[in-house]
Structure 1
Amino acid sequence: MPHIVTDHAIIRGSRIAHGVHGSGEPVVLLHGTPASSFIWRNIMPRLVEAGYRVHVFDLLGYGLSERPWDPAIDTSISAQVPILEGMLAHWGLDSAHVVGHDFGGGIAQRFGIFSPERLRSLTLIDAVSFDSYPSPRTREQMAAGLDTLSKRPDAEHRAHFSAWLRDAAHHREHFASEALDTYLDLISGPVGQASLFQHQVAHYDPKHTLEIASRLAELSAVPVQILWGENDPWQVVDWAHRLHAAIPGSVLHLIPECGHFAMEDQPDAIGRLLVHFLEAGVTFQ
């Protein structure tokens, strides 16, 4: 299936795959783990049709962006914020509407706390927050040792993550038939498998969101929308309510028949809620 990143830029010395679609007010979409901008492929056209210019990129160490050879290179939530800032500079954007899913939501929270003047609005979708991650199942997996996991036979690795990724979706058979192989291909093979553990799983550390947890109320300076799959097994819905309570004035929508990969399960609902939120024009600028 086609990716929606079409160009490349050198940001802070690393190659970042990115794409810009449409025209109008800028909306930046931030993906999570273990994913890429591919997860926005069914959302981007809806925003473009509604008159927005959509900016996407693959995080450093993810998707079609550079996978650093050195595992010591920081690709954590905190380290991805300067990559986001570099992309904004590359695109010539002083500010934008920001939408973040999963780890992308953690990046968006930090960006909004430390650069509030650059945020026009914020939408968080099944986002990590506080100490909501890694999940108990992931902690179990990490206990085996990341080096050991990175050297598993390819067939064993793919079988394990095929089952793991299916858990992220509520409509699992549809997900498996349409998109699962693309997700798997990006985190498998001689580059993808090692990079998954070195540059994604290695940074499943809640310190990046706990550090700003006491400041989440500051995000209320801009309109904030929280979208959450009612059936999310990775970031259970209790976290949505806690995040909603921590950001005064935020709007929370729980989406039925929807897992963690909300944009796979309910693209129509996500697209509709995003467009409605943006068209409401409830910005303070």
Structure 2
Amino acid sequence: MRVELSEVTLDVEVSGEGPAVLLVHGFPDSHRLWRHQIPALNAAGFLTVAPTLRGFGASDRPEGGPEAYHPAKHVGDLLELLARLEVDRFHVVGHDWGSGLAQGIAQVVPDRVASATLMSVGNLAAILAAGWGQRQRLWHLSMFQHEGLAEEWLSREDFARLREMLDDHAEAEAVLEPLRAPGGLTAALQIYRSGLSIETQLAAPPVLPPLSVPAMGVWSVGDRFLDERQMVDTGAHVSGSWRYERVEDAGHWFPLDQPDRVNELLLSFLKENG
């Protein structure tokens, strides 16, 4: 379904009944990232709300440069979406950039968040403090900042470089398709340019209030972009209960690689905090 908000219209999948679970994808995905989790959550008695973020997939791509894609804009979209759906209290689950947005939501409306599940990406301060090895894994963050050059490099030879980055993505061809549309790749990259500028990457780790909601961090052994330390150390930035889990035999996109394991972890954690 398409849900019209004050600034954008989002492509959203809403299904099931019961306590609400907001599922937030990252780059360069859409709500299809969660296609294995949604049926399992619905069968277990949860309402799932899985939006495609502005700039991605079939959702709107607003004009206005990087500022139109600042993480705060995404958080605003998600909270407005929940209001349109008359959802008050909810669990939030985020992968990649979606994890960062999940943490932002939990900071803004902690009284409404029953739990937060952070997949792959931990606390920003923990990432920036994780050492040189972690920064090397995130080399692409700086490259993505250069509008025009990044798009040309990534799309050259039928997206050969982006295909390399998506080498372990189970649905790489499907997520590449929206990026072929005019402006599609730029819109998807704007969240990096607004939320992780070069200045942000070089600055001292930000001092943010700890997450006060129950939180679970999930990291996959085969992740090429994030190391385990940044997720383990995220626990130091959580004042609520903290649970850490590893997923074996999976890459960065482990909700697609190991759906049964991910569903098991999610259902266990959500029921603990229902």
| TM-score normalised by structure 1 residue count | 0.83
Paired AA for residue 187 in structure 2:
S
Distance 1:140 1:60, change over 3 A: closer
Structure 1: which amino acid aligns with 2:159?
R
TM-fit CA distance, 1:186: 2.2
Contact 1:14 1:66 in 2 (8 A): yes
CA RMSD of aligned residues (A): 2.4
Separation of aligned partners in 1, 2:208 and 2:63: 35
Point out where structure 2 has 5 or more consecutive residues left out of the alignment. Answer: 129-134
1:227 to 204, 218, 222: 218
Residue 258 of structure 2: which of 257, 266, 273 is its match?
Answer: 266
Distance, in Å, in 1 between the alignment partners of 2:158 and 2:67 is 24
Which residue of the partner structure matches residue 3 of structure 1? none
Question: Following TM superposition, by how much is the alpha carbon of 1:155 offset from its aligned partner in structure 2, in angstroms?
Answer: 4.9
The 5 Å alignment of 1:1-285 reads 7-131=1-125, 132=127, 135-139=137-141, 141-142=143-144, 145-151=146-152, 154-156=155-157, 158-166=159-167, 169=168, 175=170, 179-197=171-189, 199-205=190-196, 207=200, 213-216=207-210, 219-220=211-212, 222-248=213-239, 249-280=241-272, 282-283=273-274
The verdict on how the C-alpha distance between 1:246 and 1:72 changes in structure 2, with shifts beyond 3 A counting, is closer
Amino acid at match of 1:160: R
Partner AA of 1:236 in structure 2: D
Native 8 Å contact 2:52 2:58 kept in 1: yes
Cα 1:72–1:224 shift into 2, 3 Å: closer
Distance 1:29 1:96, change over 3 A: same
Structure 1 residue 190, shift from structure 2 partner: 2.1
Contact 1:19/1:55, CA 8 A, preserved across alignment: yes
Distance change >3 Å, CA 126–CA 157, structure 1 → 2: same
Range with greater deviation from structure 2 (199-208 or 84-93): 199-208
- Change over 3 Å in CA distance of 1:186–1:129 after alignment to 2: farther
Contact 2:116–2:214 under 8 Å retained in 1: yes
How far, CA to CA, are the matches of 2:89 and 2:248 in structure 1?
Answer: 32
Instruction: List per-residue Cα deviations over 1:149-171 (Å, max 9, x = no partner).
Output: 334595525111111111xx3xx
Identity score, percent: 25
Distance 1:273 1:73 in 2: 35
Quickly say closer, same or farther: Cα 1:27–1:142, change in 2 above 3 A: closer
Question: Could you tell me how far apart the structure 2 residues matched to 1:211 and 1:107 are?
Answer: 17
Give the distance between the partners of 2:38 and 2:205, measured in 1 at CA: 31
TM-score (normalised: structure 2): 0.86
Partner in structure 2 of residue 4 of structure 1: none
1:195-229 per-position Cα deviation (integer Å, ceiling 9, x unaligned): 233x2342351759x8864312xx23x32111111
**Using the alignment, how far apart are the partners of 1:195 and 1:65 within structure 2?**
11
Residue by residue, what CA displacement relative to the aligned partner does 1:104-125 show, whole Å, maximum 9, x if unpaired? 1111111111211110111111
Q: 1: distance between equivalents of 2:103 and 2:40?
A: 24
Alpha-carbon distance between aligned partners in 2 of 1:154 and 1:212, rounded to the nearest angstrom:
33
* C-alpha distance after superposition, 1:230-278 (max 9, x if no partner): 2211121111111123214200001111221111211111111101112
User: Deviation at 1:23?
Assistant: 0.9
- Greater Cα offset, 55-64 or 70-79: 70-79
CA contact (8 A) 2:93 2:102 kept: yes
Question: For this pair of structures, how many residues does the alignment match?
Answer: 261
- Which whole-Å CA distance do the structure 2 matches of 1:49 and 1:154 have between them? 40
Secondary structure of 2:267's counterpart equals helix
Structure 1 pair 268/201, CA: closer, same or farther in 2 (3 Å)? Answer: same
Structure 1 residue 191, shift from structure 2 partner: 3.2
1:81–1:110 Cα contact (<8 Å) kept = yes
